[in-house]
Amino acid sequence: MWRWKMKMAKTFSEFTVAGPMVQSCCFSMEEDTPRSPGPCLLRINCRVVAMDLRAHGDTKVKNPDDLSADTMAKDIGKVIEALYGESPPPIMIIGHSMGGAIAVHTAVANHVPSLLGLCVIDVVEGTAMDALNSMQNFLRSRPRTFKSLENAIEWSVKSGQIRNIESARVSMGGQVKKCEESTSSPGVSNSIGEGIIEEDEDEEGEEESNKKRMKEDEQEMTKESLFTWRVELSKTEKYWDGWFRGLSSLFLTCPVPKLLLLAGVDRLDKDLTIGQMQGKFQMQVLPQCGHAVHEDAPEKVADALATFMVRHKFTEFKEGYLC
């Protein structure tokens, strides 16, 4: 079912150094683009595997539309099993936003029996559930297409989606894809595309007009634009609730050391606030970052991860990189 690639932005990417393994399902609501593990690898001894989950890149599966939390969590377990068989090395899972939710579901379901630790980046049940109410409006506000990859990178920075231009140059290439060359849409007749409306115009004029407009929009999109979003997030709405509902309690019940990285302390919900006061997890706030914390401040995130892993004796700093 899986097609394996040893290249960045394919099914998985592996960077090997002596030490425990860091399993990254680090992706935002936009996509699943493996981020460069370089800064983290410079500081500590570890191995990083970055996954490309179903429907997010070149991975081929039987049912790419099944993006439920349970299915994607099982996918991670299957990848670990395929990589390491019945004896996987100690593993720490890291995930951002929806990827953080999948990391939690993976940990709770024990799909990674050698799990060592868990890091979740800027995802909290309370704020995530509140944000879902306006998510469709947000998605509609984004450009549907871009004339070039450079144009997509420029938009991501100017819109504030990513605040680090270097990170945007890395990640936007995985968030968008080239538009198909075809200028016609299946199931729509040429007469509609050409604006010819015959006998039923009076009764179905409005409907035909809408179809004509949609057809023209699609033709214009293909004609003038080269890139569009890789994942049509609006079509995944039925899974949103399952990703985030109950996430805080699941996170707190994970029986491994946990790190929560946030862009602002105001993102904490009640359960996590109580859990943090009880010392159930380590929290670090990285101010002056947007939602894509790991892209806006990659060095600070790498420092936080390295310090956390060394503190819990998962690994040790390399010589010359003591924090």
The per-residue pLDDT for range 280-313, each reduced to its tens digit, is 999 999 998 999 999 999 999 999 999 999 999 9
pLDDT at position 28? 31
Residue among 56, 96, 105, 291 flagged as catalytic: 291
Helices (H) and strands (E) in the chain, counts: 14, 10
Q: Which of 97, 156, 167, 171 is catalytic?
A: 97
> What pLDDT sits at residue 188?
33
- Give residue 57's pLDDT band: very low, low, confident or very high (50, 70, 90): confident
Identify whether 215 is part of a domain: no
Q: 176-200 burial, b for 16+ CB within 10 Å, e for fewer?
A: beebeeeeeeeeeeeebbeeebeee
Q: What are phi and psi of 216, to 5 degrees?
A: -65, -40
- Cα 206 to its chain centre, rounded Å, is 39
Residue 21 has a pLDDT of: 64
301 lies in some domain: yes
Rounded to an integer, what distance in angstroms lies between the CA atom of residue 271 and that of residue 278? 11
Distance CA 187, CA 33 (A): 33
The string of pLDDT tens digits covering residues 142-162 is 999 999 999 999 999 999 999
List the CATH number of the domain containing 278: 3.40.50.1820
Half-sphere exposure of 60 (CA within 13 A, CB side): 4
Q: H or E stretch including 227?
A: strand 227-229
Identified catalytic residue from 32, 52, 75, 122:
122
Beta bridge partners of 317: 44
List the one residue out of 138, 102, 133 whose CA is nearest residue 118: 102
| Domain-embedded: residue 277 | yes
Query: pLDDT for 179-238, tens place per residue?
Result: 875 433 343 333 333 333 333 444 455 566 656 656 655 555 545 569 999 988 999 999
Give the domain range for residue 289. Answer: 16-27+39-129+239-312
Is 96 marked active-site?
no
Q: Which amino acid is at 265?
A: V
- What distance in Å separates the CA atoms of residue 297 and residue 65, rounded to the nearest whole number? 32
**pLDDT recorded at residue 37:** 46
Q: What is the pTM of this model?
A: 0.77
Is 291 annotated as catalytic?
yes
- Write the pLDDT tens digit of every residue in 254-284: 999 999 999 988 878 999 999 999 999 999 9
Residue 121 included in any domain = yes
Q: Which residue has the tokens 């899986």?
A: 2
Q: Is residue 304 part of a domain?
A: yes
Give me the number of domains the chain comprises: 1
Residue 41: per-residue pLDDT: 54
